[in-house]
Amino acid sequence: MEGHGGMASTSNVEAFRAELADFVARFSEPDGSVYPRPVANPEAMSGMNMDGMEMASDVEAAHTEPDHAGMDTPVEVLMLAERFYFDPSDIRLEVDRPYRFRMLAADVTHGASIQFGEGARMIRLGPGVETELQMTFTRPGSFLVYCTSYCGPGHDGMQARITVV
């Protein structure tokens, strides 16, 4: 029944849930929002031998603005749709930074519509099927995400919010 509103593959859903739990734990903010940012790759330096290297203190180092580092590489955003909520339900993102949304419906077919004022971006989420979408928000604001595929009596309240700063 997959793809027709039936139950999703349990292994896909559970694996995605575990990855989502790590994502939320890593990027949770005190206000309850999730604020994904670029992550430095610690493995890149793990094999380096630093023995015998000297660091001169009288040499000026080149500094980069952390807000602009890695702007070309999309930041992953995970989102789970399930009767009758999106997880996470409050996401904070940055203007002009590319994001790669990875979304999955855990139970039945859901839709995710991201409202941009005059228009929207709609994504269909089949049960147990990961869907990817790359987006860059070009202006700050608060954007509503809501389910566009009737999923039961709590459907009307199935919403999330993306705040772009």
64-100 per-position pLDDT tens digit: 344 555 568 999 999 999 999 999 999 999 999 999 9
- 154 phi and psi, to 5 degrees? -95, 10
Q: Is 10 helix (H, G, I), strand (E, B) or coil?
A: helix
Torsion over CA of 78, 29, 138 and 74, rounded to 10 degrees? -40
Q: Give the model's pLDDT for residue 118.
A: 75
Q: Name which of 28, 125, 36 is nearest 74 in CA terms.
A: 36
Sign, Cα dihedral of 137, 80, 110, 126: positive
The one-character DSSP state at 19 is H
- Which residue type, as a one-letter code, is found at position 115? Q
Q: Which pair of structure tokens corresponds to residue 105?
A: 């419906």
Distance of CA 73 to the CA centre of its chain: 14
Beta bridge partners of 44: none
pTM: predicted TM-score of the whole model, two decimal places: 0.74
User: pLDDT grade, residue 112 (50/70/90)?
Assistant: very high
